[in-house]
Amino acid sequence: MTKIIIARHGYSKFNDEGRFSGQFDVELTALGEIQAKETAEYVVKNFSIDKIYSSDLVRAYKTAQIVSTQLDIPVIIDKNLRELDVGKWQGLDITQVRKLYTSAKVYYENIGRCEPDGGEKFVDFIKRCESVFEKIANENADKTIFVSTHGGVIRALKSALEKVDIDQVKNVPRVSNSSISIVEYQNGQGKMVVYGYDEHLKTKTLHDIGATV
Cα-flanking dihedrals φ and ψ of residue 187, to 5°? 55, 40
Report the C-alpha gap between 141 and 186 in whole angstroms: 9
Question: Please, is 16 exposed, middle or buried when counting C-beta atoms within 10 Å of its C-beta (0-12, 13-18, 19+)?
Answer: middle
Contact present, 114 and 106 (Cβ < 8 Å): yes
- Dihedral sign, Cα of residue 106, residue 112, residue 113, residue 119: positive
Catalytic residue among 38, 83, 120, 207: 83
Catalytic annotation present for 9:
yes
Q: What's the number of CA atoms in the CB half-sphere (13 Å) around residue 96?
A: 11
Q: How far apart are CA 99 and CA 173, in angstroms?
A: 26
Residue 208: count other Cβ atoms within 10 Å of its Cβ.
11
Active site residue 83: yes
Determine how many CB atoms are found less than 10 A away from the CB of residue 199: 8
Compute CA distances 54 → 88, 133, 182, whole Å: 25, 11, 15
- What is the set of active-site residues? 9, 83
